Structure 1
Amino acid sequence: MSALSRRRVAAALAAIGLCLCLTAPSAAAQGSLTGVEPIDPARAFAASALSIEIGYTTTDQRGAPAQASGALYLPRGLPPAGGWPLVVWAHGTVGIGDSCAPSRRPQSDRNSTYFNRILDSGYAVLAPDYQGLGAPGQFSYYNTAVEGASILDAVAAVRTAPVPLSSAWAVIGQSEGAHAAMSAASLYAESGGRAAAGLRGVIATGLRTDPPRSLREMFRRDSTGSANQVAYAAYFLAALRELHPERVAPYLSDFGRDYVESATTRCLSELVSAAGGLRPEALVADPDNPTPTFESDIAELTGYRDDNLPTDISLGYGTADIDVPPTTTDSYATTLQDLNPRIHVTLDRYPGQDHSGAFIASLPNALAFLRTHLR
């Protein structure tokens, strides 16, 4: 960012009472805003009138105080009475290294198309990186506690800034972000929302509905699916290894040890390329049993209560999805509705759409959902 652009952003921030500063998280309570920085326009959404990177406090995978980062995008024009309604963007898999943090990278064409429409529709967009991405510590991939706290604490943090935001918010998640959105909703129900009160809806596309089972299937020698799956598998193994090294490291292949280590720094596309076409089975000594405690460890990492959800849920998937095959999504939607009779669970299928394509295809339904839930 040029010095002139930085001065202009600084002036805009000053106009709403924010400074270009960052304080140590140890001095701030969980869910506190610890600083803001301007975002280079090359990394922002074109429809955003003001784009700022935020620092805030949350907790890591061991429940210890930690710093997190994210971005806040404000729409053009004056806010409505009561402030702009807030849409939280729970991003999908990008990697687990700091350089992979979405706030530090240019927006993809897909995400730009989607969120420019959201911003043009009058919603502010908050995009947490998840703790450990772009901040100290290793991101614990698909960790329910980390993802959920990262979202709720980001909402609480931006509310302490003098930005005109409504008390109502919704979360939109794709792929890993769908899991993060569901994790946040479950944690919200358990905590009562607290400083992040006002959750009005969850939109989740490409949700992995049964991680222990689907991931075991992904490792099998006869498994099929996208080339991305070897990277997904490595990120999962890196998260399990970080939490329980003795349960993972001895069961990796020679290739797997190197590849899982490289997964801690390489972002998705680079990591997939480095696999040279190998499948998840190449990462472990026994593809039929990746580790002796694989399913229980994945359940511990990714599990959330889904019988206490506090708000309406909109699920969606592409029928041609080979990244996260939706083999159990229909039945899961039925189960969610049965477990949560006080809310409304909807399911949208997008014929012929793959994992990413379903996200764009879901935009009209997402806008309709937001109009009814963020009045």
Structure 2
Amino acid sequence: MTRRAVITLVSTALLATAPLAGSAVADPPPAAGAPGTVVSNEALPRHLWLDGAASARRLTYWTQDSDGNPALSTGAIFVPAGTPPPGGWPVVSWEHGTVGVGDDCAPSTAGRSPRDMSYLGTWMKQGYAVVATDYIGLGTPGVHAYLDGRAEAHAGIDMVRAARAVDDSLASRWVAIGQSQGGGAAVFTASLATRYAPELDYRGAVATGPASNVVEAFSLIGPAGPAIRSAHLTAYATYVLNGLKAARPAFDLDSYLSPVGRDLVSDAQTLCFTPLADRAEGVTVNQLFSRPLAEGDFVATARPVMDVPMSGYDRPLFIGQGTNDSDVPFPMTAKLIADLELNGVRPEAHIYPGKDHDGTVYASQPDSIPFVARLFA
């Protein structure tokens, strides 16, 4: 059976209408729809709304994984109060940072951090509708393929399509904005948006603390490597490994893991970020592994999934990075910017001295708000 067929069958099991009382036959199962096709549309509980929203909905919709196979994602739409401008509300497609890879971590059901609520509320106050994908596998079949950049980008783009299908007050004009995991997703989005969804009017992207050069960094890790004492980095590492296994099921992950690593990687499939970081306290990154990641097929398997594209950028791209970021260290983003420039891409780079991972989100807004406003001018 093909992977496409498996996805459709699993999705059908979750979404098919139950049989009528006294009937032995269920309604015909829904087939996979085109990207952006809405499967379900429900009111979002009021406590999950952004400040300034006049309405909020939770959607389940079809998108595509990085191989082009149909997959389901969920996400939320937040529409501002007031009268939309001519042509409709311009759209911000929010691509969120790390929350986990299990269903209980999906922001449209689990909620968002105070930081994200405040940040997104600021965008709403600027007159944008906000649509926010959960990504494939967070609340839908399968394990979320963490840092599978094309799959994340597809989910973010198809969230715009899905939102416009159920709310005609949204314009076709849109931008992608993301932080951390979502910052990397926003860069991927910037590289493919106009080709993937030519009927939409994509204007550009904002990426802060973007995940990049992950494979480069991981290729230096092994059991004899330095003892990196950061529960956050250990937790991120387990999500990266789970994400690669979800994206490429044939990858022999167990051959790289120590017994400690196997336990923690297994726990990471269900634990969201904060409890996983608590669980990882005292476990160094190198303790996860039984052999170096430079050996075997890790690098060759991971590069096509996680390496940021170096071409395809046909709209403006904003990259913001704090110098004191310990989650996405400054040198990784500096290398991303340099690599893009070497390939003829000219991102608008903003460096924030002394700012850490969270601090960069807020510090960037005095620069990113006018950047986005110019895109819609």
Match of 2:212 in 1: 209
Task: Output the TM-score relative to the length of structure 2.
Answer: 0.86
The offset of 1:291, in angstroms, is 5.2
2:246 paired with 1:239: no
The Cα offsets for residues 26-60 of structure 1, whole Å up to 9 and x where unpaired, read as: 25322212221111121121221111111111123
Query: Residue 189 and residue 121 in structure 1: after superposition, are their counterparts in 2 closer, same or farther (change >3 A)?
Result: closer
> What amino acid is aligned across from residue 363 of structure 2 in structure 1?
A
8 Å contact 2:213–2:308 — kept in the other structure? no
> What amino acid is aligned across from residue 203 of structure 2 in structure 1?
R
Query: Residue 215 and residue 291 in structure 1: after superposition, are their counterparts in 2 closer, same or farther (change >3 A)?
Result: same
Query: Residue 213 and residue 230 in structure 1: after superposition, are their counterparts in 2 closer, same or farther (change >3 A)?
Result: same
The offset of 1:247, in angstroms, is 2.3
Match of 2:357 in 1: 355
Aligned length: 350
The offset of 1:61, in angstroms, is 5.1
Tell me how far apart the structure 2 counterparts of residues 63 and 27 of structure 1 sit (CA, whole Å): 12
Query: SS at the partner of 2:154?
Result: helix
1:40-189 alignment to 2 at 5 Å? 40-60=45-65, 63-189=68-194
Query: SS at the partner of 1:327?
Result: helix
Query: Residue 215 and residue 27 in structure 1: after superposition, are their counterparts in 2 closer, same or farther (change >3 A)?
Result: closer
The offset of 1:146, in angstroms, is 1.2
Query: Residue 163 and residue 44 in structure 1: after superposition, are their counterparts in 2 closer, same or farther (change >3 A)?
Result: same
Tell me how far apart the structure 1 counterparts of residues 229 and 347 of structure 2 sit (CA, whole Å): 28
The Cα offsets for residues 164-211 of structure 1, whole Å up to 9 and x where unpaired, read as: 1122111111111011111122222543x234x211111011123311
Query: Residue 90 and residue 218 in structure 1: after superposition, are their counterparts in 2 closer, same or farther (change >3 A)?
Result: farther
The Cα offsets for residues 90-133 of structure 1, whole Å up to 9 and x where unpaired, read as: 10110000110111122221112211111111100010000111
Tell me how far apart the structure 2 counterparts of residues 139 and 255 of structure 1 sit (CA, whole Å): 22
Query: SS at the partner of 2:219?
Result: helix
1:200 equivalent among 181, 200, 203: 203
2:234 paired with 1:230: yes
Match of 2:331 in 1: 327
The offset of 1:162, in angstroms, is 3.6
Tell me how far apart the structure 2 counterparts of residues 147 and 339 of structure 1 sit (CA, whole Å): 23
More deviation, 165-174/292-301: 292-301
8 Å contact 1:71–1:126 — kept in the other structure? yes
> What amino acid is aligned across from residue 206 of structure 2 in structure 1?
I
8 Å contact 2:50–2:117 — kept in the other structure? yes
Tell me how far apart the structure 2 counterparts of residues 217 and 233 of structure 1 sit (CA, whole Å): 13
5+ residue gaps in structure 1?
1-20
Tell me how far apart the structure 2 counterparts of residues 86 and 25 of structure 1 sit (CA, whole Å): 29
Query: SS at the partner of 1:94?
Result: coil
Match of 2:305 in 1: 301
1:365 equivalent among 357, 364, 367: 367
5+ residue gaps in structure 2?
1-14, 18-28
Task: Output the TM-score relative to the length of structure 1.
Answer: 0.87
Tell me how far apart the structure 1 counterparts of residues 265 and 98 of structure 2 sit (CA, whole Å): 15
Tell me how far apart the structure 2 counterparts of residues 167 and 138 of structure 1 sit (CA, whole Å): 31
How large is the Cα RMSD of the aligned pairs? 2.2
The offset of 1:221, in angstroms, is 3.1
Tell me how far apart the structure 1 counterparts of residues 193 and 300 of structure 2 sit (CA, whole Å): 24
The offset of 1:301, in angstroms, is 1.7
8 Å contact 1:212–1:296 — kept in the other structure? no
The offset of 1:159, in angstroms, is 2.0
Query: SS at the partner of 1:145?
Result: helix
8 Å contact 1:225–1:323 — kept in the other structure? no
Match of 1:282 in 2: 287
Query: SS at the partner of 2:74?
Result: strand
Tell me how far apart the structure 2 counterparts of residues 333 and 200 of structure 1 sit (CA, whole Å): 20
Tell me how far apart the structure 1 counterparts of residues 287 and 101 of structure 2 sit (CA, whole Å): 20
Match of 2:7 in 1: none
Match of 1:313 in 2: 317
Task: Give the % identical residues.
Answer: 33
The offset of 1:244, in angstroms, is 3.9
Tell me how far apart the structure 2 counterparts of residues 63 and 307 of structure 1 sit (CA, whole Å): 19
8 Å contact 2:148–2:244 — kept in the other structure? no
Query: Residue 199 and residue 169 in structure 1: after superposition, are their counterparts in 2 closer, same or farther (change >3 A)?
Result: same
> What amino acid is aligned across from residue 141 of structure 2 in structure 1?
P
Tell me how far apart the structure 1 counterparts of residues 166 and 270 of structure 2 sit (CA, whole Å): 32
